[in-house]
Chain A
Amino acid sequence: QVQVQESGPGLVKPSETLSLTCIVSGGSMSSSSHYWGWVRQPPGKGLQWIGCISHRGNTYYNPSLKSRVNISVDTSKSRFSLKVPSVTAADTAIYFCARTRGGRDAFDLWGQGTLVTVSS
């Protein structure tokens, strides 16, 4: 059974880069038609889609975040990653990685989420 799990530091200093990795286990990323994505949720608030990537490396970003984020994939290691440079307190959130059912589709598989706090 495929699972996804976020990993990365829980505390990042302002102006530094937030880096998270999502490990995909129980299945291969290489031949799948799924897209792999990141969603964040500031404490007590709603969900914000950050972006998605295909196993071929095609990326799709939230227009409001496009200039600030980068998503990459390494299918050989069954993982994909998120980088957000120059973070501020507004980037404090629970970050979820997720998988779509296939292509541009709903997210049917979610990680448990990881809280990232931006603070000095």
Chain B
Amino acid sequence: DIQMTQSPSTLSASVGDRVTITCRASQTIYKWLAWYQQKPGQSPRLLIRDTSVLESGVPSRFGGSGSGTEFTLTINGLQPDDFATYFCQKYNDYWMFGQGTKVE
């Protein structure tokens, strides 16, 4: 089974910072990776699919990159609304989430 490893588990940052979160797959998942944002008490929100495609309405400060087994979510210029937990998810054959990264 493919394992998804997300790092770091917690990230301390300030408004305006550039933030990078990494997600690694134990085998290639090609480009089939998504990123979600979840705030306390809310459902996850899809931010990015197919590694780098921003969902409608997602601010352009969010970006995704990578391929194969290593992927990155970048937030350029962290905003107060961005403090949340972020999850990666693969969906090449079946679905699996990374462990999550809390941005605080």
Contacts and interface: CB of A to CB of B under 8 A. Distances in A.
A104 B91 contact: yes
B1 A63 contact: yes
Interface residues of B, number: 24
Contacts of A104: 32, 91-95
B97 interface: yes
A113 B40 CA distance: 12
Given A63-B1, A106-B34, A96 B91 contact: no
A4 to B, nearest CB: 10
B91 A106 contact: yes
A38 to B, nearest CB: 10
Interface of B: 1, 32, 34, 36, 38, 43-46, 49-50, 55, 87, 89, 91-100
Given A63-B94, A105-B91, A107-B34, 12 more contacts: A39-B97, A46-B97, A46-B99, A49-B97, A62-B94, A104-B94, A105-B49, A106-B49, A106-B91, A107-B46, A107-B89, A108-B49
